[in-house]
Amino acid sequence: MGHRLRLQGGAQTRLSLFVDTSVWSLALRRDAPPASATVLALMHALEAGETIVTTGLVLQELLQGFSGPKDRRAILDRFSALPLVVPDRQDHVEAAELRNHCRRRGVQIGTIDALLARLCIRDELMMLTTDEDFRRVARLSALRLWRA
């Protein structure tokens, strides 16, 4: 990808893959992760040492979706090694513009999803997701999605 981006603490790195909550939720299931193409792509990326990034919103959504201290610790441990992409004021402005742009064209996107899409666009990240909303957004924007 070759694009430098802002991370928590001001660090910069070259990034490639942003994994959405939908994929992490499937991959972290206790009852054996499904062999879906997206989960397999995540597993391959991890094994290959590719750089995978996240943001606080994805971490928060995962922590809200799993219960118990053991699950919480496992998620925090796994995510401690991932760089955090941090939105700034302009990202929120651009996310609102993206949401409005999509709405004018008949595509509804939630506030959080608009911000996640904006971060991927800003930093030229490939998004790995199972969420069909992002597929519709990608048709109307510069959002790049991983495809099987």
82: pLDDT strictly greater than 80: yes
Biggest CA-to-CA distance, the chain: 44
User: Nearest Cα to 108, choosing from 73, 140, 68?
Assistant: 140
The structure's pTM equals 0.85
Q: What is the pLDDT of residues 129-146, one digit of tens each?
A: 999 999 999 999 999 999
Give mean pLDDT, residues 115-125.
97
Q: How far apart are CA 109 and CA 96, in angstroms?
A: 10
